[in-house]
Amino acid sequence: MGEREPEILTVEASEARQAWTELLRAVSRRQARVVIERSGTPMAAIVSADDLAQLEKFEAERRRDVAILEAFGKPFKDAPDGELKAAVANAVSRARAEHRSRAAPAHTA
């Protein structure tokens, strides 16, 4: 059985100041994540150190993935969209035809 997700609490900044110790305790025990608002506008959030580590990991993975996509697209940056779409469609058609020919059972006479 998995761990229970922390409850999302939304509090005004003035309330957060008054309940700071209790909020930190709930966050550190992974019982809550706290959104702090000022006049109804979210201004900040308090999350556990584990949640922050996960967020940092996801951001690093995203940066890596974006870098890969940018590197992949670099050789095609000056290609007109129509030409690029046609080349991709052609490559997909060839790959599908090749896959079908490999997957087709051999006919014996």
CATH of residue 30: 3.40.1620.10
* Residue 29 forms part of a structural domain: yes
Q: Is residue 103 part of a domain?
A: no
pTM: 0.62
Integer CA distances (angstroms), 57 to 60, 62, 71, 83, in order: 5, 9, 21, 37
Number of domains in the chain: 1
Residue 34 belongs to a domain:
yes
Neighbours of 51 (CB within 10 A): 15
pLDDT digits (tens, 9 = 90+) for 36-94: 999 999 999 999 999 999 999 999 999 999 999 889 888 888 888 888 888 889 999 99
Residue 37 within any structural domain of the chain: yes
Q: What domain range includes position 38? A: 1-47
Cα-only R_g, the chain: 26
